[in-house]
Amino acid sequence: MSTREENDKQREDKMKENGGKTNMEVKVHKQEQKKDDEIEKVEFSLGSNSHIAQSKRPSDASDDEPSERSWTRYAILSCSIICLSSLMANIVCFNFTVLCMPATYESLSLNHTQYTGYNKNDRTLLFSAVAVGALFAVVPVSLLISKYGSRKVFFMSGMISSFATAAIPFVSPYSLNMFLALRFIQGIAFASCLPTVGAVTASWASLRQHGLFMACLTTFGQLSSVFSMPVSGELCTSSLGWESVYYLHAIICFITFIGWVFLYTDLPEYHPMVSKTELLEITAGKSLEATSKDAQSIPYLKILLTPSIWGVWIGGLGDFVAVNLIHTFSPLYIRTILQYSVHHTGFAAALPVLIQFIVKIFAGHSSDSIRSVSETTKLRLYNTLALGASGAFLCACAFVQRGQGTLGLTLITLATAMFGFNGGGFNKVKSYDTVGNIVNHRF
């Protein structure tokens, strides 16, 4: 018998031992079996009766299934950032247009330069109406998200904000009360932003990427100003007028939220573009409460009685008060104190928040990467940088004289940029259950 015939004989005997399969087929079968075992682990973490996990089993997958290593969670992250920024921009654009729009019942002159504008009391009411609306809606919106999911609730918030923003040019010239009502509605829509940040992070971020997701998602305040301020400055000084600022923001918000509702799902297990490998990466190490839609009710009493939570709230209060002060009044400060032109004010107001955005991304990534210190130590360090250093620069801004544009802009940029470290501070809060699994409560 020749050597070739002997090899053929050995190959046939080997195939008989493998049930008629070649060595390559046996190897592929073992790889598929390994994937089955991994998916079963996910099923166990989601609950033995989970039909969601069963739908991701390899045996049910079609031949044209997406690549094993998909990047759907990053598409979700990007879309969420755009929607959050768009909703916030609808509110922020008034902070600039108050410089170039007439007050109620006031008309611009023929050259569009002579007008009085809203007085101090009216501006105060219009600024605060958003905060009142958000405060009024924050608890109901959080409960609605817990019951119906962020996909439906956040989408409705985006639609409400779009229509309210588009209505401002029609209402503001004739009724201050109606203008206040629209700003109040914008505040109600804004109340869904932070709960949505928590929901997206808890559902779509892996444990190793919580800081990155949280830092990226909470940049919507900075990104909204980076877009809204220069665009508003250009439109206000153009022939299109201040009304076009609101129309443009409303259209962008409407389009982005239409994209959101088609792309986003409340859990990655429901998304048709999430591969088995990506699902394993997202759910690895998470407890049943973190990966199941039927999560336990939020322990409000335990939260209120936890001293650490009060520390987080105090830090958050200081951060939001200062950040909102800068975002709300920086255009007025740059225009009236630093004496920039209306056109240049838009770009000058966008510079500090652009740098803050970069710092926040760096803070979130570095917080996840540093392993040599505890999470508590990192949180304290980043909070100190965010609040302490920013407070010092804000105090220095009080001594800037009228017309010192370069010095004033430098100080307000430094103050604003340092707040970016909150991406690794109070925004990233984790509590551990008794078995060591990380459970993220969305406050």
What is the predicted pLDDT for the residue at 107?
Answer: 61
CA 346 to chain centre: 23
What is the predicted pLDDT for the residue at 146?
Answer: 84
Residue 403 gets the label, from left (phi > 0), alpha (psi -120 to 50) or beta, of left
What is the predicted pLDDT for the residue at 62?
Answer: 41
Confidence category of residue 1, pLDDT binned at 50, 70, 90:
low
What is the predicted pLDDT for the residue at 425?
Answer: 65
Which of the following CATH numbers is that of domain 75-109+116-283: 3.30.70.3270, 1.20.1250.20, 3.90.75.20, 1.10.10.10?
A: 1.20.1250.20
Once rounded to an integer, what is the mean pLDDT over residues 295-324? 76
Confidence category of residue 157, pLDDT binned at 50, 70, 90:
very high
Angle at CA 256, nearest 5°, toward 253 and 258? 110
Q: What is the pLDDT of residues 76-124, one digit of tens each?
A: 999 999 999 999 999 988 888 888 887 776 665 545 555 667 788 888 8
Once rounded to an integer, what is the mean pLDDT over residues 366-394? 80
Q: In this model, does residue 211 exceed pLDDT 60?
A: yes
* Mean of the per-residue pLDDT values of the chain: 76
In the block, residue with structure tokens 């989601």:
46
Per domain, the residue ranges of the chain are 75-109+116-283, 299-428
**Taking the model in full, what pTM does it have?**
0.69
The radius of gyration computed from the CA coordinates of the chain, to the nearest angstrom, equals 27
Confidence category of residue 247, pLDDT binned at 50, 70, 90:
very high
What is the predicted pLDDT for the residue at 73?
Answer: 85
Q: Which amino acid is present at 187?
A: G
Q: What is the pLDDT of residues 15-66, one digit of tens each?
A: 555 555 445 444 445 555 554 554 444 444 444 434 444 444 434 444 444 4
For 36-45, 187-196, 265-274, which range has the lowest pLDDT when averaged over its residues? 36-45
Highest mean pLDDT range out of 87-96, 179-188, 260-269?
179-188
